[in-house]
Chains A and B, each alone.
Chain A
Amino acid sequence: DVKVTQSSRYLVKRTGEKVFLECVQDMDHENMFWYRQDPGLGLRLIYFSYDVKMKEKGDIPEGYSVSREKKERFSLILESASTNQTSMYLCASSASPGYYNEQFFGPGTRLTVL
């Protein structure tokens, strides 16, 4: 059974804190993605990775960074959290080549920045 897990379902942080969101997949997928979901804006791509130690910017990378040291793990980092980063964060993975393959999503992390 396909499985993408995220480290937390709910997270509350304070402005200026460094925040780590972790995603793990057990399907040996090459591709991993981080999205942000906001009402009325759909799913917006923050960063993605097609291989270990590789990363590419999506549509809204500002204020975020990522790390992929192992194939199964993709971390999203908020260097200095701000209130406008309060959102639902979804991780996804897909098999190579990625573009014609289904993306499998994690359950999401609802982050609140106070």
Chain B
Amino acid sequence: GENVEQHPSTLSVQEGDSAVIKCTYSDSASNYFPWYKQELGKRPQLIIDIRSNVGEKKDQRIAVTLNKTAKHFSLHITETQPEDSAVYFCAAFHSGSARQLTFGSGTQLTVLP
């Protein structure tokens, strides 16, 4: 089945700096890659996603890049703010018989004021 590895597990940045979280996946058939944000004590929520026919997608201060050849995708957050502090999960969907999302292990991002 699919395997998604996510790095780093923890990340601290100064407010205003950029943050990058990286994920790799194993199944070349995976074609949809969402990112979820989970604030402390709250439920995960989708913040951005990308499909395999697109190399990059932006939404205000967040962007996701995808390298299908390397089976690698990343989340970029610019001009970080304290409210960006949360756990971020990447995920990969593989369209084989399983038809399920496989999540990475999560990154705890802390934005220091």
Contact = CB atoms under 8 A, between A and B. Distances in A.
A78 interface: no
Chain A interface size range: 20 to 34
A100 to B, nearest CB: 6
A58 B43 contact: no
A58 B103 CA distance: 12
B6 A42 contact: yes
B45 A105 contact: yes
A103 B43 contact: no
Contact of A99 (B6, B43, B44, B95): B95
A50 B106 CA distance: 26
B52 to A, nearest CB: 11
Given A42-B104, A42-B106, A45-B100, A100 B51 contact: yes
B25 interface: no
Given A43-B89, A58-B100, A102 B34 contact: yes
Given A98-B99, A102-B46, A105-B43, A41 B93 contact: no
A48 B43 contact: no
A76 B43 CA distance: 18
Interface in B74-113: 89, 91, 93, 95, 98-106
Main secondary structure on chain B at its contact with chain A?
A: strand
B17 to A, nearest CB: 25
Contacts of A58: 100
A86 B69 CA distance: 39
Given A43-B44, A90-B43, A99 B105 contact: no
Contacts of B67: none
Max count, chain B CB within 10 A of own CB: residue among A43, A50, A58: A43
Nearest to B108: A39
Contacts of B43: 4, 90, 105-108
Contacts of A56: 98
A59 interface: yes
B58 to A, nearest CB: 18
Nearest to B94: A99
Nearest 4 A-B pairs (CB), nearest first? A105-B43, A43-B103, A42-B105, A42-B103
